[in-house]
Structure 1
């Protein structure tokens, strides 16, 4: 079955929907979503969106804070580009109707702003502690109203269609022609032909055993772009959020950094604080510092968690500012107005990704990557809190604008080969998929986690190679399923992470290795080039 559009977007979060809305007045767009529209990470974001909104703040201050957090690996041009477009992005959301919290004081900016780790000013605009949900809801409603946008939920992208799927040899003019997509409800593979393709599929934190991300965060866009011939960068920088709820009955639930911004402190089991022992910024240090501090305390004491304490604040203030967290914790018998919250670090954000330029262009012509699956240079070695949603909004608009500007030079939709299932059968060993999934996530947590060593990374590499062989053999013999496609992408991403981590012989930002605890004198991005990459270097 074939569908033909001007632009096909893989992903239905903030980045993908921002691009879709920008494109809709001019071209026909398909949005591919793995689950329901709100299944991605945007809907889970709690804290807010960083932008310069107060008169006492400045663009340069936001840039400086981001560069410091990025530990020497940010692209200053990318940081400036995003920060300078921050206010415009926020005002666009306000115009659409996103219900950000208003300021109760007459002076200052009209909306309540909070502060999070690494920021020198209050610049986080939010909707209580469920900002992502408010943004996702508004964008989804707007997309549903657009006649030029068709939404395909419960569809899983398989691969980018390139010249080889047209029966032509890949060369310097290789380009994207759309995507192959599995309809999970019918089991049929569909061909989506398009003049331009946008990957906005989110990050890869589900490659780890413990993650704050939804199940959909399996690195699909990164793996698809890599297989299509695009470079990836800085995959060793995986952010572990310091504070996720620790409870045997709770599936990983994030305790927003905004809570520490409003005065919550971290305590040992005996009630004493420990962050002053690690960093002068205490609980407002960047996430990599706080995560390593918690990891160190847990290993030193043998305790399974530490405790986040905001009980010294007024109960009404806590419930008003953190209603989602209050209600969720109460389900597990934890009243955050009077009880400390048990927390542990968990994989949270993929700072690396598909290498792109300011317009979101990848190495493959007419293939774009935006949001968490992209490496723009904004985050460097460590993402600063609440910069991620801002990046989604800015690059979603930028990619859409570039597509519209280049539309006349794009070739008409092609007719790629249909998906061939003539040599495969239905699997009678689905247990292989579930077993490999569990094994992969376990050894990635054990060997490629918060603190690394060469020995652990080499162990992980051997296991990745073995699993890759098994999974590729399985993929070649059986009809695809959603679980198999996600596992195939996860093992690809795991390989990219391990290879990148082995290449970096220093400790910087989110990559900490006991074998090389010091900073290198000449920091550089870790760039991986796929075998037989089809396109000459375009992205600087």
Structure 2
């Protein structure tokens, strides 16, 4: 029911229409739910682009305990072990949920679910759809189910930009038209329970596999409202995006390396065998840095699937094949040029085992949340699993935790000075700064420079909420990276190249903490930061 610039969403408002958001909505049925989506549901979600599949210990000889052990090993010492084990134990149940919703997972000749192997997994445990189309097929099934569920209302074309908080409790969001050229009047959408499922942060970086909507606004909204943020410095760079002009960069799924594709330089030399015992199937952060260094050295990096797949490539990996052809590459006969790209954020809004944030009335799931499962380095195909497990948990928790109707909500709407488009020069500058100084390799001087530039852009933008949210999440990532003086998982410091025992723990940071770290870093910046500024023309 709408009144002026206020919309009452009723019981539950879910911000985000990817796998996490839609699965949560379906699990809440028949309870009334409103889903807020900036793009038509399914179109703006990273979930739809996921090629790898979902990890689940369903094959004979595999166990949830083994799955959890692999997750813990990949997470480089800071995984919440209870979270990893409990999620692994729920995997088979959630796969059954998806099957009931009509997801056509691949099967073997006996009719059993077919499972593949990916990097750092000790067993074949990844369920796929047509090789590399799991995310797309899952989202198609969920969108159809949502459209057919009367209790779920979808509000498309609206983007949340600020939480509405009253007496310390989240009571809704302020939203705006997603593609407005001018600043509209703020719209308050209120609800008794709020779930953020707004996705990741990839678009904060110049090279990313993420859709345009993945710009970290959910983390920023929660942080600006006072929520605790966990592990923001840990950004996973997918080793193998197709190098070229496309933004976002097309992903080349890890499953190709699982099938035997190798990484070579421009002279045809295979380089991963000398770097890690698992060669191309080593942890993603190690593979990404190896590729980054080959490119920096001028030798380039290429994924060669000619011997492993050859003429089978188009049928085995149709999505990658089409992406290659669109860029003039024939992977049957040519190696694919690749580069690391911002792919997945291990950090996010800190949530407990039920998906509750530190703000009353606010739950979070999917990439915007940090459950502790991924630690410093996400294990392949664990993200879709985590999203559906926490979607189900949040739905169950909301059933017993939502208060009755509240009296009228009286909150002053935040100022929205402009609706800055995503291709605005300031956004482009920020993305270049993040890639150059908060990317695959980091060091103190570069991070201090980045923090100074983020503050400068923030001041120049003024009170534009869109850029303010982007800058807020960038600041959280860069400040936590500056504070963590070691290398661990997806966070690599060239000035602290090894993991250090005192840092073997998760990071917890508020926006106030990040601002304090940023101010100190800029004030105490070394001469090297000045040199970086001079080189950047600042």
Question: Which residue of the partner structure matches residue 479 of structure 1?
Answer: none
Question: Which residue of the partner structure matches residue 59 of structure 2?
Answer: 54
* Contact map agreement 1:189 1:419 (CA 8 A) in 2: no
> For structure 1, which segment, 209-218 or 321-330, has the greater mean C-alpha deviation from structure 2 after superposition?
321-330
In the alignment, structure 1 residue 31 sits paired with structure 2 residue 35: yes
Question: Which residue of the partner structure matches residue 350 of structure 2?
Answer: 355
Question: Which residue of the partner structure matches residue 144 of structure 2?
Answer: 141
Question: Which residue of the partner structure matches residue 127 of structure 1?
Answer: 129
C-alpha distance in structure 1 between counterparts of 2:394 and 2:410, whole Å: 27
Question: Which residue of the partner structure matches residue 119 of structure 2?
Answer: 117
Mind listing any 5+ residue stretches in structure 1 that lack a counterpart? 164-169, 476-483, 534-540
Question: Which residue of the partner structure matches residue 89 of structure 1?
Answer: 94
Question: Which residue of the partner structure matches residue 326 of structure 2?
Answer: 331
Question: Which residue of the partner structure matches residue 402 of structure 1?
Answer: 397
In the alignment, structure 1 residue 415 sits paired with structure 2 residue 408: yes
Question: Which residue of the partner structure matches residue 507 of structure 2?
Answer: 526
- 1:189 deviation in Å? 3.1
C-alpha distance in structure 1 between counterparts of 2:23 and 2:237, whole Å: 27
- Give the one of 431, 445, 450 matched to 1:455: 445
- 1:465 deviation in Å? 1.5
SS of residue in 1 equivalent to 2:424: helix
C-alpha distance in structure 1 between counterparts of 2:404 and 2:509, whole Å: 29
- 1:59-110: per-residue Cα shift (whole Å, max 9, x none)? 1110110000000010001101110000011111011110111113x3xx71
- 1:280-331: per-residue Cα shift (whole Å, max 9, x none)? 010111110100111122222x14x311011113445322220111122122
Question: Which residue of the partner structure matches residue 465 of structure 1?
Answer: 455
SS of residue in 1 equivalent to 2:192: strand
* Contact map agreement 2:50 2:136 (CA 8 A) in 1: yes
> For structure 1, which segment, 129-138 or 249-258, has the greater mean C-alpha deviation from structure 2 after superposition?
249-258
C-alpha distance in structure 2 between counterparts of 1:290 and 1:136, whole Å: 29
5 Å-filtered alignment, 1:91-110, equals 91-104=96-109, 106=110, 110=112
In the alignment, structure 1 residue 160 sits paired with structure 2 residue 150: no
C-alpha distance in structure 1 between counterparts of 2:367 and 2:175, whole Å: 21
C-alpha distance in structure 2 between counterparts of 1:492 and 1:425, whole Å: 17
The structure-2 alpha-carbon separation of the partners of 1:41 and 1:72, relative to structure 1 and needing over 3 Å to count, comes to same
In the alignment, structure 1 residue 223 sits paired with structure 2 residue 220: yes
SS of residue in 2 equivalent to 1:162: strand
The structure-2 alpha-carbon separation of the partners of 1:432 and 1:184, relative to structure 1 and needing over 3 Å to count, comes to closer
RMSD of the TM alignment (CA)?
A: 2.0
- Give the one of 427, 431, 448 matched to 1:437: 427
C-alpha distance in structure 2 between counterparts of 1:532 and 1:48, whole Å: 37
SS of residue in 2 equivalent to 1:468: helix
Aligned length: 503
- 1:141 deviation in Å? 0.6
Question: Which residue of the partner structure matches residue 370 of structure 1?
Answer: 365
The structure-2 alpha-carbon separation of the partners of 1:248 and 1:365, relative to structure 1 and needing over 3 Å to count, comes to closer
SS of residue in 1 equivalent to 2:34: strand
- 1:116-154: per-residue Cα shift (whole Å, max 9, x none)? 111011100011211100011111110111111110111
Question: Which residue of the partner structure matches residue 74 of structure 2?
Answer: 69
C-alpha distance in structure 2 between counterparts of 1:447 and 1:414, whole Å: 48
* Contact map agreement 2:202 2:214 (CA 8 A) in 1: yes
- Give the one of 482, 494, 503 matched to 1:514: 494
TM-score, normalization by structure 1: 0.89
- 1:353-398: per-residue Cα shift (whole Å, max 9, x none)? 1110011100111100111011100000000110000000000000
Question: Which residue of the partner structure matches residue 289 of structure 2?
Answer: 292
- 1:530 deviation in Å? 3.9
- 1:112 deviation in Å? 1.8
C-alpha distance in structure 1 between counterparts of 2:421 and 2:16, whole Å: 28
5 Å-filtered alignment, 1:215-254, equals 215-248=212-245, 251-254=248-251
- 1:350 deviation in Å? 0.6
5 Å-filtered alignment, 1:375-394, equals 375-394=370-389
C-alpha distance in structure 1 between counterparts of 2:337 and 2:423, whole Å: 33
The structure-2 alpha-carbon separation of the partners of 1:499 and 1:64, relative to structure 1 and needing over 3 Å to count, comes to same
- 1:205 deviation in Å? 1.2
C-alpha distance in structure 1 between counterparts of 2:59 and 2:421, whole Å: 55
* Contact map agreement 2:417 2:463 (CA 8 A) in 1: no
C-alpha distance in structure 2 between counterparts of 1:462 and 1:296, whole Å: 26
C-alpha distance in structure 2 between counterparts of 1:369 and 1:244, whole Å: 28
Question: Which residue of the partner structure matches residue 478 of structure 1?
Answer: none
5 Å-filtered alignment, 1:463-502, equals 463-471=453-461, 473-475=462-464, 485=466, 487-502=467-482
Question: Which residue of the partner structure matches residue 166 of structure 1?
Answer: none
In the alignment, structure 1 residue 176 sits paired with structure 2 residue 170: yes
